[in-house]
Amino acid sequence: MTDDFRPMELWEPGTRRDPHAFYARVRVAGTPVPQYDPAGNRFWIVARHADVLDGLQHPDIGHEVHRHQDRDLSPSPYPPSETERISSRQLIALDPPDHSRLRRLVSTAFTARTVARLEGWIAGVAADLVVQARRLGRFDAVTDLADPLPVNVIAQLVGVPDEDRARFRDWSATIVSASDYDGSATLAFAAYVDELAARRRAEPRDDLLSGLVALEAQGDALDRDELVAMVQLLLIAGQETTVDVIANALRLLLTHPEQWHDLRADPSLASAVVEETLRFRGPVEIVPPRFTFRELDLAGGIIPAFERVGLSLWGANRDPEVFSHPDVFDVHRADVANHIAFGYGSHFCLGASLGRLEARLMLEAVARELPDLRLAVDAAEPADVRLHHGGMLPLEVGPTS
């Protein structure tokens, strides 16, 4: 029954403190639960594993709702600005045929081999960060360990030369934190991608940008806005997610000392720790909203046409029909592979293998080099690390003071 839910319950402070209890109730409701966001938009929340999978694969649920609406939308008299043009070409917000075309092109350059080649380099960066943390003695898991890793990895992947890294990091910080109010960072970033792409056209190297511009010679390529949008999306999608996984994995390990002990005894458990962190507390609570293109039947109920659907990965990843004792953090569980923290279907995370690699290498480095790591907060249960809300996780190593 959806009558048991208050209309904005998902956004209430009590629910924010424990969203899993909310999703557990949505799972048993047996029908999508309507919720209104602070802007007044109605979302239909879906939280059972099987239903979230249905929603992610449904042919009549997607992003480009304007193409399905039978209304006479009078076109804007103004041409879109450059920042609007770029953001309208983000892979993550497109449907077929544009999504399939862009995804195919990017996948030819962003392969498992491209990612595997980065392993030694990423391990080196993680090792440096861990050595620095040891020197600091007391440090923050987010600021000092996790945050510097992904932006450097994306820069390396794309092929940003060393001398440009500081500028690249500055634009990224502004763009990723969604504080580019006047669009100036996006424009400076776009101009930089143009310049670097021109260099790679003239003199290709072994990097992602060279791979993407090489497609132009075959007559089937990303256009200029698509290329800029793609590099920008890699930053946006790959930064906070990866930082969040690393910081929360450390928090969960340190609050489950027997599992932290297991990892130190056997660093090859790092991969299992990453997977269980993704299941138990992945970075994406609800996938970016989709719309229904017609009235349809989903998750045991009818959703009207052209409405927002909120497919909850947190709900799916704690579904007791799929995971035994789902509310227990257990790096030894056998059913972890069923988690869908990277989504599912056509928009399945393009950077999943890269995100997994970064988190695993950081945890291995921490387990090896910082075995005396402990929380530097008194609370037995440190707050969940939420990047959008400035979540921090103070840690320390060395002699206890």
Q: Which residues bind ligand HEM (CB under 6 A)?
A: 91-92, 103, 154, 233-234, 237-238, 241-242, 245, 278, 282-284, 287-288, 341-343, 347, 349-351, 354-355
Nearer to ligand HEM, 62 or 397 (CB): 62
Nearer to ligand HEM, 322 or 377 (CB): 322
Q: What is the nearest approach in angstroms of ligand HEM to the Cβ of residue 70?
A: 25
Could you give the dihedral angle defined by the CA atoms of residues 300, 301, 307 and 313, in that order, rounded to the nearest 10 degrees? -20
Q: What is the nearest approach in angstroms of ligand HEM to the Cβ of residue 242?
A: 4
Q: What is the nearest approach in angstroms of ligand HEM to the Cβ of residue 121?
A: 14
Could you give the dihedral angle defined by the CA atoms of residues 372, 375, 378 and 379, in that order, rounded to the nearest 10 degrees? -130
Nearer to ligand HEM, 278 or 370 (CB): 278
Long-range CB pairs of 19-23, under 8 A, 24+ apart, other chains included: 19/285, 19/314, 20/314, 20/318, 20/327, 23/47, 23/312, 23/314, 23/315, 23/318
Give the integer Cα–Cα distance in Å for 357 and 113: 13
Per DSSP, what are the bridge partners of residue 36? 42
Task: Determine the residue with CB nearest ligand HEM.
Answer: 351
CA angle 141, 144, 150 (to 5 degrees): 90
Q: Which helix (H) or strand (E) holds 166?
A: helix 165-176
Nearer to ligand HEM, 185 or 237 (CB): 237
Nearer to ligand HEM, 22 or 342 (CB): 342
Nearer to ligand HEM, 242 or 396 (CB): 242
Give the integer Cα–Cα distance in Å for 7 and 45: 12
Q: What is the nearest approach in angstroms of ligand HEM to the Cβ of residue 364?
A: 16
Q: What is the nearest approach in angstroms of ligand HEM to the Cβ of residue 50?
A: 17
- Asked if residues 314 and 339 have their Cβ atoms less than 8 Å apart, the reply is no
Q: What is the nearest approach in angstroms of ligand HEM to the Cβ of residue 145?
A: 15
Beta strands 308-311 and 42-46 are parallel
- Asked if residues 312 and 341 have their Cβ atoms less than 8 Å apart, the reply is no
Nearer to ligand HEM, 27 or 347 (CB): 347
Nearer to ligand HEM, 89 or 200 (CB): 89
DSSP 333-397: -S-GGG--TT--GGG--TTHHHHHHHHHHHHHHHHHH-TT-EESSS-SSPPP--GGGT---EEE-
Nearer to ligand HEM, 96 or 137 (CB): 96
Q: What is the nearest approach in angstroms of ligand HEM to the Cβ of residue 131?
A: 23
- Asked if residues 159 and 207 have their Cβ atoms less than 8 Å apart, the reply is yes
Q: Which residue has the tokens 């450390």?
A: 250
Q: What is the nearest approach in angstroms of ligand HEM to the Cβ of residue 348?
A: 7
- Asked if residues 341 and 313 have their Cβ atoms less than 8 Å apart, the reply is yes
Q: What is the nearest approach in angstroms of ligand HEM to the Cβ of residue 182?
A: 25
Question: Which of 138, 132, 144 lies closest to 375, judged by CA?
Answer: 138
